[in-house]
Amino acid sequence: MWGGRFSGGPSDIMAAINASIGFDRRLHAQDIRGSHAHLDMLEAAGIVSATDAAAIRGGLDRVGQEIAAGRFVFKPELEDIHMNIEARLAELVGPVAGRLHTARSRNDQVATDFRLWVREEIDAVDAALADAQAAFIEKTEAWPDLPMPGFTHLQNGQPVTFGHHMLAYVEMLGRDRGRFADARRRLNESPLGAAALAGTPFPIEREMTAAALGFDRPAANSMDAVSDRDFALEFLAAGAITALHLSRFAEEVVLWTSAQFRFVSLSDAFTTGSSIMPQKRNPDAAELVRAKPGRLLGAFTALATVLKGLPLTYGKDMQEDKEPTFEAADSLMLAIAAAAGMVRDMEPDPGRLRAAAEVGHPTATDLADWLVRRLGMPFREAHRVTGELVAEADRRGLALPQLPLDAMQAVEAGIDESVYDVLSIERSIAARTSYGGTAPENVRRAAAAARERFL
């Protein structure tokens, strides 16, 4: 493919390190689509005749059909998907195939193909995240008022509802979708027509190819167009944060399905057994989702390291952009699907959740708030009084709502019977009516609002 410049071929080692067809064949549809757009523009600009364009167009369609049918032979000696398609096109239509590469370089070609692929992957990720949000919303709607413990430091803090807990992940995934949408907006500029790095003397119409490929505009600087991989970095960064969110949920599933918690159960669909312990039901799907951030963070770090010291414009180093991005995208899509599946599959245990919500004096803050409202105490004083009452309840081996009135009055004489009205789990939850709070009516409204915002 190098024409007259080289008289010999590469060594086996050079061929092995140089070839990318083993992974960049995934860009075949984008490469053919970009070639069609480029060809249409060349024909419209009078750079390629209508007769030649028709022959090339038919050849490109034939190549696409062969790849789709699994009949296409990918050849490592041709290095990459671009040259594999170009070589097959020449076999099909003859030397006229060479006219397709007029005013185009592999530099702007691969940049265009990769942008198209990442853009399509962002759209697929967005749809998958919307489905995961729907799963969490469905679970919220099924359990809007089921009490459960709300933790800080993995210690029982205040009671919340199961539905409220589910909605927290809806918000996280909503931010993730926003990051992908932002990345999509920024990547949506076409490198096609930048050629190798300096543009081309041919009278091309870059606005035409940009529009044909669904880009908002052509990239403004030809050097930046072929060297930019920010779009891949942003995709990986957004993917890594998404994977972190999914991992947090997965960790909760691992905890909640354990014998020590038993908050929820998973069916056979998302668990596995043990090769030696017959009684085991392992939350392997959750554990694997929990591990996925390593792949996404690794891919981001790998690409950032490749790019960090590259002078403008293109270097062969940049061939290392695609493989980690492809693998990271696969891992992310699988993790999202597994998380959504587990949400729909898991069944909460109302008795266990309700009982766990009562452990550890979770309505102590409600007592402190009552002292502020009823007795006019400064909150810090109410906090001290409540702490003494908690300590007294612990000494007696009682829950805070079981502490006798006289014991409370021994610490603070102004306390009366009405204090018990705020010490139950249900009343504590119902009282959290502030915007974003866990009161069941809030949760129901928030679930409906989330459907409106995200689905």
Could you give the residue numbers annotated as active site? Answer: 153, 274
CA distances from 412 to 367, 376, 397 (A): 12, 13, 20
Distance CA 100, CA 87 (A): 12
Structure tokens at 211: 């529009």
Tell me how far apart the terminal alpha carbons of the chain are, to the nearest angstrom: 50
Asked if residues 146 and 351 have their Cβ atoms less than 8 Å apart, the reply is no
Q: Residue 130 half-sphere exposure, CB side, CA atoms within 13 Å?
A: 14
What distance in Å separates the CA atoms of residue 231 and residue 210, rounded to the nearest whole number?
A: 17
Which of 204, 196, 202, 188 lies closest to 222 in space, CA to CA? 196
Q: At what angle do helices 106-142 and 81-93 cross, to 10 degrees?
A: 120
Query: Residue 197 corresponds to which tokens in the numbers above?
Result: 């790095």
Structure tokens at 382: 């109410």
Cα 71 to Cα 65: distance, rounded to the nearest angstrom: 9
Q: Cα 345 from chain centroid?
A: 21
Q: How far apart are CA 351 and CA 291, in angstroms?
A: 31
